[in-house]
Amino acid sequence: MQANKRVHADMIMKTGIRIAALCALGLGTMPAVQAADGECFESRDGASKVVQKEIGENLKNVECSDTTGAVLWWGDPYDGTQPMGDMPVEIEGEAVVKSRTAQLNLYPVCGVACHNGSFPAPVEADAPPRKLTMHMDLVPDSMNLQHGNGGIWCLDCHDAKTRNKLVDNAGNLVDFNQPQQLCGKCHGQVYRRWREGLHGKRIGEWAADGKKRWFVCTECHNPHDVQQGERKSGFAQITPEPAPKLPKNMDNADHERHHGH
């Protein structure tokens, strides 16, 4: 049994870790953030916290960066995941996602203790947009939402009655763990590229029919501040980490030696 666990861990090291496309370590610059001991984020600070833990001999579920506070690599790409659910197209292999609702502290009560259908008074879905003065502590940009360049507001995405659900343009309720079902209604081209593996990130097995963890839209993009202030970019990028050191005194290839030629 212990031998099987060791073999499984070695397989993860050779497949899942290498395939990890580090979107958390993208291009551009951002102030360095020191991670708390044993804690880091996967794709966007504040959206995908993960606690480091031992999963095998000298193997952790994730390795955290001391520079940015982001995940450097995954020892277990499936830790804390669940089946992705229905998709409009057939997917080869097994697709899993990490629960978003588990990261939202007020999710269990927002549709019960608050917005319970009677108090406060429900807002009609076609009500005119208004300033969200009651949610400034939850949404820092609530007084100046950037999504849709001012053309949409909260109830275009959040259901007017069931506040712990999203809602698409046809009135269908959408789970917070499946935001692509909502985002894809407006961002069709990006959604198709994500679905085909050309946009976003997946980690796991190399085989086309293997098990993979899919990262959904809100793990990389903040839906309330998609413009990222003056940068006009939908993704808060951070400085890339340097290349890892190779074993046995091997030299890393100098990919910059051609100076762009």
Q: Identify the pLDDT of residue 234.
A: 67
Q: 224, 157 in Cβ contact below 8 A?
A: no
Q: Identify the pLDDT of residue 189.
A: 93
| Assigned token pair, 207 | 């085989």
Whole-number Cα distances in Å, 250 to 42, 85, 87, 224, 232: 29, 44, 45, 45, 41
Q: What is the pairing mode between strands 166-167 and 95-98?
A: unpaired
Whole-number Å distance between alpha carbons of 37 and 198: 34
Residue 99 CB neighbours (<10 A)? 14
Q: What is the mean pLDDT of each run of 10 residues along the chain (261 residues)?
A: 44 36 30 57 83 88 88 90 80 88 74 68 69 68 71 82 86 91 92 90 91 91 74 67 67 56 46
Q: Identify the pLDDT of residue 87.
A: 72
Give the 3-state secondary structure of residue 8: helix
Whole-number Å distance between alpha carbons of 221 and 226: 7
Residue 27 CB neighbours (<10 A)? 9
Q: Can you give the residue ranges of every domain in the chain?
A: 2-99+201-215
Q: Identify the pLDDT of residue 196.
A: 87
Q: Identify the pLDDT of residue 244.
A: 64
Binning the chain into helix, strand and coil, the percentages to the nearest 5 are: 20, 15, 65
